[in-house]
Chains A and B, each alone.
Chain A
């Protein structure tokens, strides 16, 4: 009984003690770091957002002289820009579909079977990301010229799918591997054929991981610039490749508007899928052995 008052006194004293110089300094430094990060990361984005609606903006004013929606009209009325948006929205879903068809069976094989060269193949998928993109695409262009794939839809599709292979294989492979084998066995015992087991048990349980991979692949395709420029320009312009000419030929406001448009799907998809990404699917995805 005599212990309680002492411990209560101790607890009280620790909350009433003034913060030490050491902890003040530490919080100040942390605060400064956070502010710096915000400035560097959010700063350009804020500038972009303001620029898109700016009329006349003379230095060194912090805000534009007048606001306007004129540049948005320019973008929406321009035929070429409209086509670029259409193309982007055409290639991205198609890339996800083609990538899924090619990579998901491979992902399942990596997850469930052990075959000679498995580790080698798994790691070699990173090869496309290991090399500088422009170097890779220049070599690819040489191949495409030989195969008559330059300036074709198929050529651009190949370039886009290449960028999604790592996402569409590693993350679903980890998702498939995470489905306990005895759940699949229970389904077989209940009378399901191997295909039915995949459709009713494995796929639904791996779906969160597959969706994350699909979102990452969509974004990778949507933002793919260099390879598409090399292979597609000038016949097939997507939003990222169109950005190059925009920056050269139009006032910065138009580029700012287009940047925002380009960012919208990314942000929207990230927001809607963030629950799964934060939930560790992405990190888990790169944990496959």
Chain B
């Protein structure tokens, strides 16, 4: 498996000045794990800069949670090394690692109050009572939960429980913060707010963070870089913009954002027979009432309202395409002209060419 370096495009470098930092927050080399006869993690390499927020993104079963658990120390890798800020940790038990984890269902201890939950890691480190009190109150203030410090976890809402779990991790002042699907148990509106809060706190404190998620929107909105995983391997490790604009593999192209996937090749704006697979982003399918260069007559088959835009399914002579249209509303049955502005060609799963037409 080759080491995936960030995409060295001008856009990537300028958007991430903060990451051009000194140290390496997390460095994983050759991580390998076999479970039940199957290779769950296949020789994985990952390098996270200090202060960076990186997401491990992928479908269920891709190995992202297994990777996170190996970083945290709950699972021993078969081979490979894990270094946190230069210190090798793979031989250490979970209790001795400089990382702190926020669990998917928060894992708050029900027999302890919020303050005791957050203070427990400090108690284990034999910190003085007054210092525990000060640090617990400071971090509860940071997540806006000071008013609940004497409540039991059962009495507070799901979103508040998650903030307590986050506070409990942050109070340890860890070198590495790990989050396992932090937003999956929250409802949609709360998710947007909480992910912004997490990002804000993470940037304020400058903690190296790794998030595991299956939600690409979540990953795109929070991360400095995203490692897209599939079947135990990282397929691409880049900034969100680079992943979207230049997916290196077919899997990444279809996983991130929406994609029209058609077999064949693009010749003069028409899709004809070919050995490759074309990937066309819906926003690159242009619809108009009158013909334009490269456009082909198309009938609107189905329209899905999405609020500020419409998902329009049009059928051309060569294939059916999905398009994102904003502005004037489109109705099913209408006759339009559809042209392809940009198409990516994949062969054997890898990106081989990009063809575009100025429309």
Contact = CB atoms under 8 A, between A and B. Distances in A.
B124 A204 contact: no
Contact of A185 (B94, B100, B111, B121): B94
A119 interface: no
Interface in B272-287: none
Interface stretch (A8-16, A103-111, A190-198, A256-264): A190-198
A196 B124 CA distance: 9
Interface residues of A, number: 17
Interface string B114-129: 0000001100110000
Given A189-B72, A193-B95, A205-B111, A182 B120 contact: no
B177 to A, nearest CB: 11
Contact of A190 (B93, B105, B110, B120): B120
Contacts of B109: 183, 186-187, 201, 205
B103 A186 contact: yes
Nearest to B72: A189
A143 to B, nearest CB: 44
B125 A191 contact: yes
Interface string A141-183: 0000000000000000000000000000000000000001011
A201 B73 CA distance: 19
Interface string B79-114: 000000000000001111101110111011111000
Contact of A188 (B94, B111, B168): B94
Interface in A28-45: none
Contacts of B104: 182
A200 interface: yes
A191 B103 contact: no
A163 B110 CA distance: 34
Q: How large is the interface on B (under 10, 10 to 19, 20 to 34, 35 or more residues)?
A: 20 to 34
Given A185-B94, A201-B109, A205-B111, A190 B172 contact: yes
B121 A182 contact: no
A187 B110 CA distance: 12
A180 B103 CA distance: 12
B124 A182 contact: no
B282 to A, nearest CB: 39
Contacts of B110: 205
A240 B355 CA distance: 94
Interface string A99-138: 0000000000000000000000000000000000000000
Contacts of A193: 95
A190 B121 contact: yes
B32 to A, nearest CB: 22
Contact of B124 (A183, A191, A205): A191
A187 B109 CA distance: 9
Interface in B322-353: none
Contact of A186 (B96, B99, B107, B125): B107
Given A183-B109, A204-B111, A190 B103 contact: no
B309 interface: no
A191 B107 contact: no
A185 B99 CA distance: 13
Contacts of B124: 190-192, 196
Name the residue among A187, A204, A205 with the largest chain B CB count within 10 angstroms.
A187
A200 B95 contact: no
B74 interface: yes
A207 B161 CA distance: 24
20 contacts: A182-B103, A182-B105, A183-B109, A185-B74, A185-B94, A185-B103, A188-B94, A189-B72, A189-B73, A189-B94, A189-B99, A190-B168, A190-B172, A191-B95, A191-B96, A191-B124, A192-B95, A193-B95, A201-B109, A205-B109
Given A185-B94, A189-B73, 13 more contacts: A182-B103, A182-B105, A182-B107, A185-B107, A186-B103, A187-B109, A187-B120, A188-B73, A189-B100, A190-B168, A190-B172, A191-B96, A205-B109
